[in-house]
Structure 1
Amino acid sequence: MQVVRVSDGGTVTVAEVLALPVLVRGLPKILAGHDRLDRHVRWVHVTEWEHPASALRGGELVLTTGFGFPNRLEEWAAEFADIGAAALVLELGRRFQEAPYELVAACRARGVPLIVLQRGIKFVDVTQEVHAMILTGQVRTLRAAQHVHDTFTALSLRGAGADEVVRAAATMTGRAVVLENLAHQALICAPGEAMVEDALNRWEERSRVTPSPTERTEVCGQEGWLVTAVEFRGQRWGRLAMLPGSTAEQRFHTDHVMVLERAAIALTLSRLTHETRWEEQAQRDALLDVLEQRHLSWRDTRTKITALGVPTHGRRLAVVLVCAADRDALLDKLRARLEGSALVGDLGERGIGVLLAYREPGGWRPLATDISELAGAPVYVGAEVGELSEVARSAAEAEQIADAVPPVGPAAVHTIADIGLPQLFYSLRDDPRVQAYAERQLAALLAYDQDHGTDLLTTLRHYLASAGNKSIAARRSHLSRQALYQRLHIIEDTLRADLESGDCRAQLHVAIAALDAQRARHRPGRA
């Protein structure tokens, strides 16, 4: 594990101190520790003591003219380095005209930044400005901590969802923040100032080589992610990762750690107060992103879906709709059965939606059969497409099929090829024009059956289904031919129709199909 030190927002660095005008006037020259200028300055200490380490605690910027230097500068530099001082600033011109070679060599060997001032300055001005910077930074850190506390407390109190919490963390830091589970599936991504594709590209691969922190929050892995654990009911559930802003902006600060840790706590509270599991919500949101085309780019959408563990590049795609009484149980079964090959989500009145992703053309068939068997109900499959941008068309076709085929009956897979005249009228069963047509054609016959206790409608249905063949109609109706002739004669008189006419039979056939559709049971959960 690569652990990178997190910057303390309440301090300043040696480089920042050297950039102050009061020090610039001294013409500073760096003689050692060029690569250590990012050290934090906790305080400024002015000394001429021969052994100043006894007065230091580490992190100090030490200012001196060198009057108190001992004879053995190597030991002095070693003592100075061991105490952890931030840097040594030596003013030339009072005791030394140039830095002693032994001191320069010792500081280089120990990695201690050594800066010489080639022009005299007032040390008191340096201490005043640097201490003001440090105190200002500490106040800023306290204010930031209060802001972070207030923000996430407010989110928790109003029951904000996980997506709001993650988005708040990204907004406050400007960094991409990702919530993932233990399977390295990126459930929620707030890209901050980055692009979704940059944040989530090859997510699982990158995540698996980024170890989890040994402590609560650490910067881990070659990419330098800031990572903290997310727990649920005392068990580790997943982790929250904050990504570096750019290659040149790898360092994190204490306010980043603070935001990430508070976000993790808010996520745990959110999980306790929301029934919907994050995995379910992530899949449903991704499915709706595709079906309703609510995205900025198809590339980002594909990247997000792939980060959820469902690759779509180079795959064939099809939408399946299914209705079931116990949706929660079926959703669990479908996710377990289709893991890695489908997005599954509850689409409300439309039923349960499934976006299948498979390699070979026609690969939806065995998957749709499995879905139907798991549901114990019919399923409706839209057109097979090759791009995410075409999935909405597949979904529209699946809805068209679902509207046309009643949900009753055994498990079966229905496609657009199954839509005939009865299915067409079932889909139009609530259209007042269709209702009016069926009433206009059959009202007299329905009234006759009701008044006389007969069932001439069934006789007419069998006759029309037999294409006017009376022998077949009599056999289907379990009637003698003479009895059938008598009933057909009554039907003709009642409807004032000529059943020998092909046009008349076609009109009545359509009317009966429309009437049957109106009498069919409504789909569960549908209007």
Structure 2
Amino acid sequence: MNENHPATRPPDTDDGDTSAAGRTLTVADVLALPVLAAGQPQVVTGVPHLDRPVRWVHITELTDPASFLKGGELVLTTGMPLPDDAADVRRYVDELADVEAAALVIELVRRYHRPPEALVHACHARGLPLITLAKDVNFLEVTQVVHTLILGNQTDAMRRTQRIHEAFTALTLRGAGAEDVVRAASEMSGRTVVLENLAHQALICEPSGSTVEEALTDWERRSRATPPGDPSDVRGAERWLVTPVEYQGERWGRVAMLPARADGPSFGPEHLTVLQRTAMALTVARLIHPTPWERTAHRNALRDLAEQRHHSPEDARARCAALGLPTDDSRFLAILVDQGGAETEALLSRELRTAGIPTLVGELSPGRLGILLALRPSQPWRPVAERLGRAALDLVPLAVVSVGSEVTDLADTARSFREAARVAEATPPGRPLPPDRSFHELSDIGLSRLLYALREDTRIQEYTERQLGRLIDHDTRHGSDLLTTLRHYLDAAGNKTTAARRGGVSRETVYQRLRTIERLLNRDLESGEQRTELHIALTALDVLRAS
């Protein structure tokens, strides 16, 4: 039964200050102090409980010391008052355990030279740490040292608590959003902090000492296994510290602080203070920022996917899955809606929910909505895109709906968004849609739309001017319209008769004008390659003039 462990301090598992100063003092901390270590302490029972906090030290030679204790005391005794009867010894230990004394330290110098078996058995049965001292120790000096540390730590704790309150007050006064609040909570606590809604979707995650994947994998199941409750408390098998976020009886979600590791240290009073102030700051943020948390979460997730800002594909999958988007055995399609605002975003979100299509919807940039569809393997994407496009156009007739290509891996959605963006860039406002279609796609991009997308590139502008500049200058100076004749000729694929008919002039006039054009541009209009170059330049000119 006698465990006889040397009372050396075990490795500290906290991720903060590793000294006794600055945090709650434990039994292990006290045993490691020189003033007590000089007595050669041995842990006889209760090794797993050496992390118990020591709130005070009590020296006693009474047979009923428990009546003077409030819990958390390290009890020091010479052993002189211990009863001889085993039943009385059990009663003595039971009373100490019932008031939750931190540990019992007995000196083996005067009455005993080895701990009584009855005492060892009783302490082992109640899980009370029993420590023996082989050498004489000045108990008064122990109390002075430990009490000084405890009071100093309490003062430090008050200062740190004050800093926590000041930090969250500053966040609230400057109108910080929910992301800023959760990030500050994670930084102050050194723990991962997650804000979730009532549907157990993780809306904001600030990891600390772990990845997003580790924090959010299988989030909904783990969250549902962590029971709700009104007071802030440690709950569930994973020992999350959770507190609700609510206002005037209306609950919006809860914020959870995850332990550093599954076998790591529990939370302290400062963690609780941080979490409670986080909930208060989130309530204020919700009241002053009308945008729903879900919309902000979708927007941030979409931007990170489109711009590939995730640390890893695994982090991206975990984050999107925690928002309710299926990431396994799904196909993904990116859709952009230009000219869409908050009303369009809300409408399309409702439309997709009605259709039962898992999706993320959010603003990627001012006036541009991003949509990511998660489709079943057997589900065709065109009917969904058509329904979405029709809904957008019904609300905003001038909206431009562009679609990327379908991908099978969430990590490839950035490519789908890039393709949808290229389609949007190549689509002038008011561009007619193909028959029976409400969206534009890559296959729609021809020469004119490609040049429209490149219209701001100075190389296109220089090319157009080099090919046609002298002809345009001649028309301007002489009031002629040779540019139109060239257009008719090129549109007719070099057929002069057709060009004359389209221009409403004789063939002889067309011949004469074409010779003038060849002379001005130094071109051979019988050359197919040169006609192609001029046709491209004319198309680019039309695009530049229409921009």
Return the TM-score normalized by structure 1: 0.82
**Where do 5+ consecutive residues of structure 1 fail to align?**
1-7, 475-480, 523-527
Q: Provide, for residues 83-122 of structure 1, a one-character-per-residue CA deviation record: whole Å limited to 9, x for no partner.
A: 3322222222323344334433333333333333232211
Distance 1:167 1:267 in 2: 12
Which residue number in structure 2 is paired with residue 65 of structure 1?
78
Aligned partner of 1:335 in structure 2 is 349
Counting only pairs closer than 5 Å after superposition, residues 14-413 of structure 1 correspond to structure 2 as 14-70=27-83, 72-212=88-228, 214-232=229-247, 234-324=249-339, 326-338=340-352, 341-348=358-365, 351-360=368-377, 363-376=380-393, 377-408=399-430, 409=432, 412-413=438-439
> 1:259–1:491: structure 2 CA closer, same or farther, 3 Å change rule?
farther
* Cα 1:21–1:363 shift into 2, 3 Å: farther
**8 Å Cα contact 2:402-2:439 kept in structure 1:** yes
User: Does the Cα contact within 8 Å between 1:92 and 1:117 map onto a contact in 2?
Assistant: yes
CA distance in 2, matches of 1:221, 1:487: 90
Q: Which stretch has the larger CA shift, 28-37 or 170-179?
A: 28-37
Deviates more, 1:84-93 or 1:136-145: 84-93
Aligned partners of 1:319 and 1:383 also within 8 Å? yes
Larger RCO (alpha carbons 8 Å, 6+ apart): 1
Per the normalisation by structure 2, the TM-score is 0.79
Give 1:426's aligned residue. Answer: 452
Contact 2:359 2:373 in 1 (8 A): yes
Provide, for residues 446-504 of structure 1, a one-character-per-residue CA deviation record: whole Å limited to 9, x for no partner: 999xx89x9x96x9988976768899999xxxxxx8x9754777777667569x97969
Quick one: structure 1 residues 446 and 298, their matched pair in 2 at CA, closer, same or farther if it must change by over 3 Å?
Answer: farther
* SS class of match (1:402): helix
Asked if 1:517 corresponds to 2:528, the answer is no
Preserved CA contact (<8 Å) 2:362 2:369: yes
Identity %: 47
- Cα distance in structure 2, aligned partners of 1:396 and 1:294: 14
Matching residue of 2:17 = none
Shift of 1:188: 1.7
Q: How many pairs does the alignment contain?
A: 501
Q: CA RMSD in A?
A: 3.7
Aligned residue in 1 for 2:8: none
Shift of 1:440: 5.6
Structure 1: distance between partners of 2:238 and 2:75? 35
Kept after mapping to 2: 8 A contact 1:175/1:242:
yes
Task: Give the match's secondary structure for 1:413.
Answer: coil
Greater shift after overlay, 249-258 or 340-349? 340-349
Indicate conservation of the 8 Å contact 1:460/1:488, yes or no: no
